[in-house]
Amino acid sequence: MTENMSEIQIQPRFQSFEKKSIFTCWSAAIHRFFELKGRTSRYEFWAFNSVSLVIFLLSVLAGWLLDEPKMVLNIFAVYFLLPAISTSVRRLHDLGMSGWWTAPAAILTIALLICWDLEIPYSNNLLPFFALTYGTFLYWVLSCNGEPRFNKYGFEVKEPAVYNLDSRAFICFMGTFLLGLWVIFFSYIW
Q: How far apart are CA 39 and CA 17, in angstroms?
A: 12
The stretches of 32-161 forming alpha helices (DSSP H) are 42-65, 69-94, 103-117, 126-142
How many Å apart are CA 91 and CA 119, to the nearest integer? Answer: 33
Name the residue ranges covered by the structural domains of the chain.
Answer: 39-189
At 119, which amino acid appears? E
Q: Report whether 17 contacts 161 (CB < 8 A).
A: no
Q: 3-state DSSP: the chain helix, strand, coil percent, rounded to 5?
A: 70, 5, 25
The pLDDT tens digits along the chain (190 residues) read: 445 544 444 444 445 555 677 788 888 888 888 889 999 989 889 989 999 999 988 988 988 888 888 888 888 888 888 999 999 999 999 999 999 999 999 999 999 888 888 888 766 688 899 999 999 999 999 998 888 888 899 888 877 676 777 888 899 999 999 999 999 889 887 7
Full-model pTM = 0.81
**φ and ψ at residue 157, rounded to 5 degrees:** -95, 105
